[in-house]
Amino acid sequence: KQNIKLNVDATEDNCIKAMAERYKIDTEKYDRRMIRLIAGVRYEMVQKDFSADNRFVFSDEISIDTVLDIKEVGFILQGVEISQEPVRVYIRGDLAPHVLGTIGAISEDEYQATLDASGNTRYTRSDVIGKTGIEYGLESTLKGTEGTRTIMRSTKGEVVSDTITDPVQPGNSIKLTIDPKLQEDLQEMLINHINWLHWYNDPTRGNECDSGAIVVLNAKTGAVLGMASYPTYDLIEYQKDPLGVANGKDGMSMFNLATMGLFRPGSAFKSLNATAGLCEGLIDRNT
């Protein structure tokens, strides 16, 4: 209502009518449902700042039949292009999902945060961006730069020239220190131990435990060799139903306890305190 300049008490009918007028939708030609669909697409194009330099993705994962239909009438659909793009495929969606992290459509706030002092950015409003994990933490390293393709048409709509003006600059690759086999073992050990605590049913040993984390580091370098967190999720399932996965396990599935959890340090911290005391000369080996 705010974006289309309507009062807060405007009804659904008021909104549809206002958008139909704004986008010059023929209300005599189209029924209410089609008017709503057209208005929704036009509104989304405005929100995503559509222009000749900033494309709007109308639909993805379209069928070959749809591709052929569009190609047949392409000469009358000026500005409509079909593009083939790489698709992310996870071989093991359940292996270190918290570490790898997730991606999703860039939000308005995220887009604004990418603008430099001159208002320039490497992103468009239709981009996908890292949301959690390594995808988020190393987004600037993984992100490439889109190229520019210049197409010239005749007045009849025929393509006269098709030139790559600026080539695409791919992002950099990242290799993790995670050991896949160790990671798989840690995840299995973690859930098995939680199940054992339930079976053992000793209140003093954590029989109500329903979450936990394990981290294994290289003691010489600090490199993370394995990082398991439970509850966990599957990146393949997340691709299909992000909201459902995010709300699973009481909303804890995507919470990385290894990096985001707060725990009492426990007896393991005593050795650190003792070491600090020895280094500072506050205690000696006989204290």
pLDDT of amino acid 159: 81
DSSP line for 172-203: PP------HHHHHHHHHHHHHHHHHHHHHT-G
pLDDT of amino acid 130: 94
pLDDT of amino acid 228: 98
Assigned token pair, 265: 């340090």
Q: For the segment 49-86, what is each residue's pLDDT rounded down to a tens digit?
A: 888 777 888 888 899 999 999 999 988 888 888 988 77
Q: For the segment 223-235, what is each residue's pLDDT rounded down to a tens digit?
A: 999 999 999 999 9
CA distance 118 to 13: 41
pLDDT of amino acid 274: 93
pLDDT of amino acid 283: 96
pLDDT of amino acid 36: 94
pLDDT of amino acid 155: 83
- Scan for tokens 């896949």, then name that residue: 180
Rg of the chain (C-alpha set): 27
Residue spans of the chain under pLDDT 50: none
Q: What's the distance, CA 225 to chain centroid?
A: 24
pLDDT of amino acid 56: 87
Strands (E), 126-241: 128-130, 148-153, 159-166, 212-217, 224-230
pLDDT of amino acid 212: 95
